[in-house]
Amino acid sequence: MRTAVLAAVLALAPLAACDSAGGGSHVTSGTVTFSIEQGVDFYSGQVVDHANYQNADLIGTSSGTGVKLATGGPSPTENRPVNWFLGTGGVHQTFASLAEVPTTRPDSTMTASLVKAKAGNGFVLEAHGGAYVHGWIQSADGQTVTIQFEAAPAELE
């Protein structure tokens, strides 16, 4: 009996260690394109269909004129932190490449959505496993966004 219980515990242990959004222990890097009602899991680098706060790190929804981006989180009303790099007058800064996007860690109050994603917007966000993602919107239109991303440096600004 003990052997059977031990075998069951060992078989299920890997499942208990996974976050509900899946993925491994490290953020991947690459380029991903997704549409409205989809999102991305930055641990796997995969597009998530029917994305929601539980299964994606970044979620795309319609803003009426473009793609609105929001982070996932522990509940539908509690997003994980993201720094969208607001500039003068509250306008989001744009950057020429991922290398130009600052690596400034978001604080816990920075949970607002990016209402209309546009090419050149950059971000640092906290992913579901606690790691930070450094990203840049390569292109965006009314239906899709393409994002270049990488694990943020261990020592964020």
Domain ranges of the chain: 2-151
Q: Burial of 115 by CB count in 10 Å (0-12 exposed, 13-18 middle, 19+ buried)?
A: middle
Using an 8 Å Cβ cutoff, are 74 and 82 in contact? no
Q: pLDDT value at position 155?
A: 80
pLDDT class for 153, splitting at 50, 70, 90? confident
Answer whether residue 128 shows pLDDT above 70.
yes
Contacts of 125 (CB under 8 A, 6+ apart): 57, 58, 71, 80, 81, 82, 83, 106, 132, 133, 135
- Distances in Å between the alpha carbon of 3 and those of 6, 7, 9, 10? 5, 6, 10, 10
- Distances in Å between the alpha carbon of 15 and those of 22, 45, 57? 10, 20, 19
Answer whether residue 100 shows pLDDT above 50.
yes
Answer whether residue 111 shows pLDDT above 90.
yes
